[in-house]
Amino acid sequence: MNRKKLILLILGLAILVGIVSAATIPYFGQVQMTAKVKQAVLLDGKNYTTPITEEVEVAGGESFCRHHWLKSQTSVPVELKFTTTYRPEGAGITTTYYTLTEKEYVIEEGRENYNGPVVDLDDPDDPYSTLGNINLKISYEDAKVVFTITTPSGLIGSTPETYSGSVAFVFDEDADNTTDWQVLYEPGSLRWDFDGYWGYEEPVGSGQWIDASTVSDIEVARDGDNFIVKVDFDRLGGLGSNYKFGFFISVLTEYWGGISGGADQVMIFFPSYEYFDWFNSSNFELQTVGTEIPEDTPFTLAPGERLDFYICYEFAVNIKSDTYTITTKVEPVP
């Protein structure tokens, strides 16, 4: 083969190789996605790799509860369940789980005259014929149930000079239709007052008011038009129990004679008198402190939902003295 033919053969092979290579490209395009995935549900705001550890000293026969919360970070419903294991294993410890759900109510305006026909409810020019609505919220904070009543702006005064009525919280803690205790905010006394039976403490007789801030397991506060009473769960019978709650608001329409002289005319505000008559609590709405979720039973966390719950531990009286590790997991349901 002469030199010229050899050169042409080499060029032909090179062209053929180029054609073959062009016909076998590895792909026609490429998309690369980097996904930073976050955990769908957080327990107490923590990732599952961060264990939540607690420690307590307890005697046989006792029980206690601890507050926790779940928060969904996903846009789809998530089915979950509680499971608990014990080390060492054996009878003697019972674990239960209770969910807590806030409740809010808007109580439409309602009035009833008391101690004389002072207000003409049918007269639109009467300044007391329209007072506005009451908001009631029942929420949870650590180991307490929080009751918040919001009145129309300026309805209740804050000093003896601006005294214009009172707000009372009434409780039937064992749901037997008998009022057990009540807390009253009255600006005329410059304090919150308490009346009733309170656990193992000396009971206060009817009408014998004491300073509510001195009573254990209760907190009281006023924040503008918000009147707040916080009560320990155990004072309402413990988690999972029922209790009855009611309240009334009285508003002075005329006031003569100073604090000691009292009010000559009082208008009872919200709602109808029968609902908040503290001597007859049969009409108080029944509330549930906690709703139990059985062990290993699925429940659904809605998209973006926060769910507050308590884990309650009960120890048998005859439990063996030892150090026990109780591990509760919040597991996804397959």
Is residue 27 situated within a structural domain?
Answer: no
Is residue 229 situated within a structural domain?
Answer: yes
User: Where do we find the tokens 């048998």?
Assistant: 316
Q: What is the pLDDT of residue 133?
A: 76
Question: Which band of pLDDT confidence, cut at 50, 70 and 90, is reported for residue 52?
Answer: very high
Is residue 306 situated within a structural domain?
Answer: no
Give the global pTM.
0.73
Is residue 221 situated within a structural domain?
Answer: yes
Closest by CA to 296, choosing from 95, 22, 52, 89, is 95
pLDDT tens-digit readout, 80-105: 999 999 999 877 999 999 998 888 88
* Domain enclosing residue 117, as ranges: 103-288
Q: In this structure, which amino acid lies at residue 66? A: R
Q: If phi over 0 gives left and psi between -120 and 50 gives alpha, with beta otherwise, what is residue 214?
A: alpha
Query: From the CB of residue 316, how many other CB atoms can be counted at a distance below 10 Å?
Result: 12
Is residue 136 situated within a structural domain?
Answer: yes
Is residue 272 situated within a structural domain?
Answer: yes
Q: What is the pLDDT of residue 302?
A: 96
What does the alpha-carbon distance between residue 110 and residue 137 come to, in Å, rounded to a whole number?
18
What does the alpha-carbon distance between residue 233 and residue 239 come to, in Å, rounded to a whole number?
6
pLDDT tens-digit readout, 191-223: 899 988 765 455 666 567 888 988 888 999 999
What does the alpha-carbon distance between residue 231 and residue 236 come to, in Å, rounded to a whole number?
8
Enter the DSSP assignment of 212. G
What does the alpha-carbon distance between residue 296 and residue 307 come to, in Å, rounded to a whole number?
17
CB 148 within 8 A of CB 228: yes
Query: Which tokens hold the place of 126?
Result: 């009467």
User: Lowest-pLDDT range, 18-27, 35-44, 79-88, 101-110?
Assistant: 18-27
**CATH number of the domain enclosing 130:** 2.60.40
What does the alpha-carbon distance between residue 134 and residue 151 come to, in Å, rounded to a whole number?
5
User: Where do we find the tokens 């674990």?
Assistant: 95
Query: Which tokens hold the place of 43?
Result: 């327990």
* Domains held by the chain: number: 1
Query: Which tokens hold the place of 53?
Result: 């550890």
Whether 275 has a pLDDT exceeding 80, the answer reads: no
CB 151 within 8 A of CB 131: no
Is residue 241 situated within a structural domain?
Answer: yes
User: Lowest-pLDDT range, 1-10, 56-65, 170-179, 287-296?
Assistant: 1-10
Q: What is the pLDDT of residue 86?
A: 95
Is residue 323 situated within a structural domain?
Answer: no
What does the alpha-carbon distance between residue 334 and residue 331 come to, in Å, rounded to a whole number?
9
Q: What is the pLDDT of residue 126?
A: 60
